[in-house]
Amino acid sequence: MNKFQSWISAARIRTLPLSISGILVGSSIAVAQGEFHAVIFSLALATTLGLQVLSNFANDYGDFVKGTDNEDRIGPKRALQSGLITKKDMWLGMILTGVITFLFALALIYIAFGHKSIFYALIFFILGLAAIMAAVKYTVGNSAYGYKGLGDLFVFLFFGIVGVYGCYFLYALEWDWKVLFPSFTIGLLSAGVLNLNNMRDRESDEKAGKNTLVVKIGPQKAKKYHYILIIAAVFSMVLFSAFTFTGIEDLLYFVAFIPILRHLNRVMENTTPGNLDPELKKLALSTFLLAVLFGIGQIF
């Protein structure tokens, strides 16, 4: 594997569809309301992808430094653990990715707000900085929140509320409480993906001192928690449709509920942590499918 391929591996391409699901949902609602702006969409997409790649680099770095990525870990080996990239190079990669992402975020804020609202521009500037810090601090540093069982909360906030509602606001520049429901859906499903990851790695995480929520509550309660996440996500999206229904095309995303609910059944019946690894990809792609189908329904 050459250097370029090593960085592609470290970026973990399979995680990117989940990260842009919120942008697709927020943008499609804006389209339905006649508020879409192609440049805002492009910059929001670039910023989100940058944040996800930064988070992946930082997780690789933080877990390696703390010794969490070891022979006990069930999931695929990461770049530092495999020796494909050095610690120094990964740190430099994090800095470069963070700077590029920050520049995308600044351009996005300027295009969205310009001179229309300095107040909202400042709020989104702070949110941008917070998102970059959250991407890094999940596993990096002594106060890494992923080691304190707070990862689920941050994923819900940044993938859901900020990702969907924040994206919608960039277009519309006005509040709409109904958009909170699809925000909850994407946030809850994203938290579900993280929960699967932590269920798979529970034993190795516990040995390494990574106190994820799954480590704190145990495997059985983690399954019940996963059930609540998925069902609440489905319910939230249905609520949005109940408040905004205009035609049968609004319900096209119901198709995505089929793989999501089948996934839920497999997780509830699972007894082997290693078998949860393919479910990570399935839930992430099912969330992306939901976002795409929801978007099509909103546009048409």
Residues 6+ apart with CB under 8 A from 33: 172
Q: Which two tokens stand for residue 119?
A: 């107040």
Q: How many residues does the chain have?
A: 300
Question: What is the reported pTM?
Answer: 0.93
In tens, the pLDDT along 145-161 reads 988 999 999 999 999 99
Residues 6+ apart with CB under 8 A from 265: none
In tens, the pLDDT along 253-293 reads 999 999 999 999 999 998 888 888 889 999 999 999 999 99
Give the confidence band of 65 by pLDDT, cuts at 50, 70, 90: confident
- Report percent pLDDT > 90 for the chain: 68
Give the confidence band of 2 by pLDDT, cuts at 50, 70, 90: low
Q: Which two tokens stand for residue 296?
A: 């099509």
Q: In whole angstroms, what is the distance from residue 153 CA to residue 176 CA?
A: 23
Q: Which of 59-68, 129-138, 185-194 has the lowest mean pLDDT?
A: 59-68
> DSSP state, 115?
T
Between 254-269 and 219-244, two packed helices, what is the crossing angle to 10 degrees?
A: 170
In tens, the pLDDT along 88-106 reads 898 999 999 999 999 999 9
